Amino acid sequence: MSLINVLDLNAWLEHLRHANKSENTLRAYRQRVLRFILWFESTNGGALVPEHVTPTDLREYKSYLLINMKRSPSTVNLSFIAIANWLDFNGQNLQMPSHVEEVRSAPQGLDRLAQRSLIRAVEHESMPRDVALITLMLNTGLRISEVAALDIDDLIIGDRSGSLKVRLGKGSKFRTVPINSDTRNVLREYLNGRTKGPVFLSQRERGTGRLTASGIRQVIDQYAYLAKFPELHPHTFRHTFARNLLKTGEGLEMVAEILGHKSLNTTRIYTQPSEQDKANAVEKLSARN
């Protein structure tokens, strides 16, 4: 890949950063465009210049991702969102291939049994920080970056109510999230009178530094192993929270507001059956025989 392409990408990514795109989005976009550039140069035998990209190239790349690489519809669609953005930054407004349609299932959360198994694993270790961390994630639906950024000043913990402030959510959106009694109780025990600094510290009770998103992932991995889960993605807590709220009868508007969604369409996906829901429904046919 030419140095020109790398510099091109850096300027584009910096432009997106100034537009308040998250670092996770920047990484995903960069990866998708890099893969397109590598494919283009391998296929056409020369360095990619944005003005040389044609609609035919884009259609062929879509076929390559779907047929040769067997990528999922969501991966293919994200790739072309990133490519379109990059080309537009470089002054090329091309007709993109149509999105790949798919029947979407609700994101997979933890069912009640799995939630209990996880909480038992955390409580068995008797680490107040970890109990507070996992309980908060299950009961607020915060993104991992939002949890890592929490300061004690962001918390209001009363006897009958409480809330926390997400000061820099996705898209730089500020929001207030209520915290229930279970979460207030474990936070109160963990903080133990501490009144300033990060909520979650890096070395449990002895640390003074902030627990980073990477550190939170390590904590989650530890308890996923103890609870005998094959894997547990941090975003699963957000999915679990959303599904739990909807099952209590809360409306989409309420759930969207708490999660910080800009569009109800984003929240509506949680009303769809999950893959496990569909598997359970089909399995009932066997039970009748």
Q: Which residues are catalytic?
A: 143, 170, 235, 238, 261, 270
Say which amino acid occupies 223.
Answer: Y
Report yes or no: 137 and 147 within 8 Å, Cβ to Cβ: yes
Report yes or no: 238 and 129 within 8 Å, Cβ to Cβ: no
Give SS3 for 156: strand
Report yes or no: 162 and 150 within 8 Å, Cβ to Cβ: no
Torsion of CA 55, 58, 60, 65, to 10 degrees: -160
> What does the angle CA 17 – CA 19 – CA 22 come to, to the nearest 5 degrees?
50
Nearest to 175 by CA among 146, 199, 136: 146
